[in-house]
A and B are shown apart, each in its own frame.
Chain A
Amino acid sequence: MSPHKGQQSQHYGKIMTGSEIFVRSLIEEGVEVVFGYPGGAIIGVYDALVDLSDINHVLVRHEQGATHAAEGYAKATGKTGVVLVTSGPGATNTVTGIADAYMDSIPIVVFSGQVPLKLIGNDAFQEADIVGITRPITKHNYLVRDVRELAKTIKEAFYIASTGRPGPVLVDLPKDVMAQKTTFEYPKEVSMRSYNPTVEGHTKQIKKAAELINAAKRPVLYVGGGVIQSNAAQELMALAEKLQCPVTTTLHGLGSFPETNRLSLGMLGMHGTWYSNIAVSYCDMLIAVGARFDDRVTGKVEAFAAEAKKVHIDIDPSAISKNVKVDVPIVGDVKKVLQKLVQMLNKLDTADWLKTIDQWKAEHPLRYKQGNALRAQYVLHKLGEVTKGNAVVVTDVGQHQMWTAQFFTWVHARSHITSGGLGTMGFSLPAAMGAAFGRKDLPVVSVSGDGGFQMNMQEMATIVEHKLPMKIFVINNGFLGMVRQWQELFWRRRYSHVELYNPDFVKLAEAFGCPAMRVTNASEVEGAIRKAMEHKGGPFFIEFAVSKEDNVYPMIPAGQTVNEMLDTPESVEVGADGEVLTDEVKTLSKG
């Protein structure tokens, strides 16, 4: 918690402008850092920042960078991320980040400038109906029409963003409203008759769930980002250990359960481990915790955990029975529900089940072949080994994202950050920057593809300016790799606009003032990663020039079942490189 948090009662009762109230309100909320970009409609608020310098404002280089930075900060710290932008283009540039935060339930509050109230609707200069534009992608949004509503609105915005199922809230601030004056008073509490999220699970439902689980022979815990949001990793561990129940996590659940534990199955879903998907299809009891049965997890819904009774614990009632009908739904905060549930459970005899799973792990580990050409999997495998999982790793979207999820060994909650729901390329660099502002205890590593890096690379300037000790890795395969993979596997290798003409990434990073190196050989990987980890006083950039045409396996093609799962082919061909693969097979099993 920030030292500012709490009342600034010496300021209560003073007459202030809306802009001053805004800054004071952020201090009341304990906001440590704001990611923003000024402009005409918000210039009054920026003026108030001059005298109230308690707030650390970070000038990003593009407003999309600001929203992703706020997301990264929020995911890495559990606090609410804050964005401040101007009207019109400033506000519309935040849209992708807001949509991303909405899909992934990330608490951020975006403050946008707006043209004066009396000009709204006139197609005024830099006017955009951002409240209308963001209505379907925010948890809630506001247009402040009266300065006397401002403090209360800010209080509500933070409350709504961070409670229940978290999400983005936008507050639109007309220029004239912010210039009006009123007495400053910050409400201590929020009372909204229309918003009361359920946190305590229903005892009767929990009992019903316990009865089902106690009768299970082959249970699996299917765990999503809700466990991390609710800070329930400990409760999850207690439950899994007591039941002796294997645990598989979604992409957002990575880190909620240490993958070094025997009970870990790693990630499930389209690019999940072979054994996690098989275990789910054979289990007789599926305990879904803070997960939402996303189509990238279930594949063909009818065949997903078809043999299993299902319990679903989630804070969001609308996530229940949305995609899959379950036997026992429990609405509530995951942490509280797990605490109650664990007391009603018996130790199950899962010895045979675990033995079967161990056998599956041995027969079908994650695999890749490391030859002369450098493989992305090897880089990410090494990153996990060198850091021993002690890093916050922020990925972009594509093959490198899946390989990182697979080959890094996740042990800490809040150590894995990615854009899952929206799948936003360009997410990693600014989100990692946000994470680096919030986390000083662990190194922050940004892993991007060569495509995605170029979508928000302008934030290199912000990162260098603030000397953030980040490790910035670009996995350069010269392709929009994931799309190329789909074209290869499902579109008869008719490659359409997936090969990238790239800049010299090392020179580019250096132009931003960031020390940089290129790695082209497997033998250099470990040394380079160590060098980056040891680098102090600012960011360090590495381009890994990896083999160009490589695929992510296992893969369950979209909408299909485990029966259609493609495991790593026995002989992995690396087409364009013409590499002969007589090389070492590397394997990794989670747990």
Chain B
Amino acid sequence: MTQPITAAATRPSNGEQLKKHTISILVENKFGAFNRIAGLFAAKGYNIDSLTVGPTEEDDTSRMTVVTRGDDQIIEQIIKQLNKLIDTIKVVDLTFESFVERDLALVKVQSTPETRSEIMQIAEIFRAKVIDISPKTLTLEATGSQQKVDAFIKMLKPFVIKEMARTGRVALKREFQGEV
């Protein structure tokens, strides 16, 4: 039987079945390059868990890091479609490499004199920093793997999170094959 490949948009978007991939895209730092990539994901119905963009070591390139989900065929198409964009210099699926990743979160959490120290304790465990304080709130900054940041946020939830901003994942291939 011929193996069919169905469109990304019509497949189950059930996170359990679809593997997460972290894809690093080096692009020419040109007008509209970000739009092209975001537009591609929208037009083809690919998932985006997070998408970050920023400058790199060279002035004329940007690096985007996309966290997406899909089975092997969808991921293969995503990589091919990204490569097809004229401004794309290099696409690497970091999932198959050893890589370092960081996510940063700013969390403004409700606090009272009674809860403040408990919140600070949690912050300490996660090596988060207090960056703003008011009579009714604490604002914390946490950096780490996506899981660590997720766990941190989970711990803060009971105190009531008033506002939160996250960068999404940035990642680079690891050169040294071991823990630093």
Which residues of chain B come closer than 8 Å to A193, judged between CB atoms?
89
**CB atoms of B3 and A131 under 8 A apart:** no
> Is B77 positioned at the interface, with any CB of A under 8 Å from its CB?
yes
Cβ-based interface call for A43 (8 A): no
A304 CB-CB contact with B under 8 Å = yes
B2 touches A304 (CB 8 A): yes
Compute how far the CA of A477 lies from the CA of B81 in the bound complex, rounded to whole angstroms: 42
Q: Are B2 and A135 in contact (CB under 8 A)?
A: no
Indicate if the CB atoms of B2 and A139 lie closer than 8 Å.
Answer: no
Q: Are B86 and A194 in contact (CB under 8 A)?
A: yes
Q: Mark B106-150, 1 if CB is under 8 A from A, else 0.
A: 000000000000000000000000000000000000000000000
Q: A323 at interface (Cβ–Cβ under 8 A)? A: yes
Query: Is A136 on the interface with B (CB-CB < 8 A)?
Result: yes
Nearest A residue to B44 via CB reads: A136
Which of B35-43, B47-55, B155-163, B172-180 is the interface stretch?
B35-43
Contact A321 B2 (CB under 8 A): no
The interface residues of chain B lying within 8 Å CB-to-CB of A160 are 86
The 8 Å CB contact of B2, one of A136, A143, A305, is: A305
Which residues of chain A from 303 to 358 have a CB within 8 Å of any chain B CB?
A: 303-306, 308, 310, 316-318, 320-325
From known contacts A136-B43, A140-B86, infer whether A321 and B1 are also in contact, taking CB-CB under 8 Å.
no
> How far is it, in angstroms, between the C-alpha of A321 and the C-alpha of B87 when the chains are bound?
23
Q: A143-B31, A194-B28, A318-B80 given as contacts; is B2 within 8 A of A302 (CB)?
A: yes
Q: Which residues of A contact B32 (CB under 8 A)?
A: 131, 135, 143
Q: Are B36 and A306 interface neighbours, CB within 8 A?
A: no
Q: In the complex, are the beta carbons of B81 and A318 less than 8 A apart?
A: yes
Query: Interface digits, B40-78 against A, CB 8 Å rule (1 contact, 0 not)?
Result: 100100000000000000000000000000000100110
Q: Is the CB of B83 within 8 A of A317?
A: yes
The yes or no answer to A132 lying at the interface (CB within 8 A) is: yes
- Which residue on B lies nearest to A286, using beta carbons? B2
Known: A140-B86, A322-B77. A135 touches B35 (CB 8 A): yes
Please, which residues of chain A bring their CB within 8 A of the CB of B88?
Answer: 194
With the chains together, A160 CA to B86 CA distance in Å?
8
**Bound-complex Cα distance A303 to B36 (A):** 35
Q: Which residues of B contact A143 (CB under 8 A)?
A: 31-32
Q: Are A321 and B73 in contact (CB under 8 A)?
A: yes
Find chain B residues with CB under 8 A from A136 CB. Answer: 39-40, 43
Residues of A within 8 Å of B27, CB to CB, are 194
A545 to B112, CA, bound (A): 86
**Residue from the list B2, B5, B86 in contact with A303, Cβ < 8 A:** B2
B137 to A: closest C-beta gap in Å: 37
- The answer to whether B35 and A132 have CB atoms under 8 Å apart is yes
Instruction: Return chain A residues, CB-CB under 8 Å to B1.
Output: 302-303, 306
Q: How far is the CA of A303 from the CA of B1 in the complex (A)?
A: 7
Q: Is residue A490 within 8 Å, beta carbon to beta carbon, of the partner chain? A: no
Q: Say how far B125's CB is from chain A's closest CB, in angstroms.
A: 44
Bits for A456-481, please: 1 = Cβ < 8 Å to B, else 0: 00000000000000000000000000
Task: Decide yes or no whether A192 CB sits under 8 A from chain B.
Answer: yes
Instruction: Check if A195 is an interface residue, CB within 8 A of chain B.
Output: yes
Q: Is A301 an interface residue (CB 8 A)?
A: yes
- A181 interface residue (CB < 8 Å to B): no
By the criterion CB–CB under 8 Å, are A192 and B80 in contact?
A: no
- Taking a contact as CB atoms closer than 8 A, the residue among A140, A192, A317, A324 that contacts B3 in the complex is A324
Chain B residues near A310: list those with CB within 8 A: 2
A321 & B76 in contact (Cβ 8 Å cutoff): yes
Known pairs A302-B2, A305-B2; A145 contacts B89 (CB<8 A): no
Fill in one digit per residue for B2-14: 1 if any A CB lies within 8 Å of its CB, else 0. Answer: 1111000000000
CB distance from B88 to the nearest CB of A (A): 6
Q: Tell me whether A318 and B77 are in contact (CB under 8 A).
A: yes
Which B residues are CB-close (under 8 A) to A192? Answer: 86
B5 touches A323 (CB 8 A): yes
Tell me the nearest residue of chain A to B80, going by C-beta.
A318
Return chain A residues, CB-CB under 8 Å to B36.
Answer: 135
Separation of A323 and B84 alpha carbons in the complex (Å):
17
Interface residue from B2, B4, B80 paired with A317 (Cβ < 8 Å): B80
How distant is A279 from chain B, measured CB to nearest CB, in Å?
15
Contact: B5 with A321, CB < 8 Å? yes
A322–B27 CA distance with the chains assembled, in angstroms: 24
Q: Pick the contact of B39 from A135, A145, A325 — CB < 8 Å?
A: A135
- A318–B40 Cα distance when bound, in Å, is 13
User: Which positions 139-188 of chain A face chain B at CB distance < 8 Å?
Assistant: 139-140, 143, 145, 160
Name the B residues within 8 Å of A317 (CB-CB): 80, 83-84
Which residue on chain B has the smallest CB distance to residue A138? Answer: B86
A325 touches B86 (CB 8 A): no
Instruction: Name the distance in Å between A166's Cβ and chain B's nearest Cβ.
Output: 13
Task: Please state if A325 and B3 are interface contacts (CB–CB under 8 Å).
Answer: yes
Which residues of A have CB within 8 Å of B35? 132, 135
Indicate the member of B27, B43, B81, B84 with the most A CB atoms within 10 Å.
B84
Rounded to whole angstroms, the CA-CA distance of A52 and B73 in the bound complex is 52
Q: Which of B2, B32, B81 has the most CB of A within 10 A?
A: B2
Q: How far is the CA of A317 from the CA of B81 in the complex (A)?
A: 9
Bound Cα distance A316, B5 (Å): 17
Closest Cβ neighbor of B35 among chain A residues: A135
Bound form: Cα–Cα A298–B81 in Å: 22
Looking at the assembled complex, report how far the CB atom of A313 sits from the nearest CB atom of chain B, in whole angstroms: 16
**Complex-state Cα separation, A310 to B1, whole angstroms:** 11
Which positions 261-308 of chain A face chain B at CB distance < 8 Å? 301-306, 308
Tell me how far the C-beta of B34 lies from the nearest C-beta in chain A, rounded to whole angstroms.
11
Asked if B3 contacts A195 (CB within 8 A), the reply is no
A161 to chain B, nearest CB (A): 11
Known: A317-B84, A321-B77. 13 other contacts (CB 8 A): A135-B36, A135-B39, A140-B86, A145-B31, A195-B86, A301-B2, A302-B1, A302-B4, A306-B2, A317-B80, A317-B83, A320-B80, A323-B5
Pick the 10 closest A-B CB pairs, nearest first: A301-B4, A325-B3, A318-B80, A140-B86, A194-B89, A136-B43, A317-B80, A195-B86, A306-B1, A306-B2
- 14 residue pairs of the A-B complex, CB under 8 angstroms, read A135-B35, A143-B31, A192-B86, A194-B86, A302-B4, A304-B2, A308-B2, A318-B81, A318-B83, A323-B4, A323-B5, A325-B2, A325-B4, A325-B5
- A residues contacting B by CB (< 8 A) are 131-132, 135-136, 139-140, 143, 145, 160, 192-195, 301-306, 308, 310, 316-318, 320-325
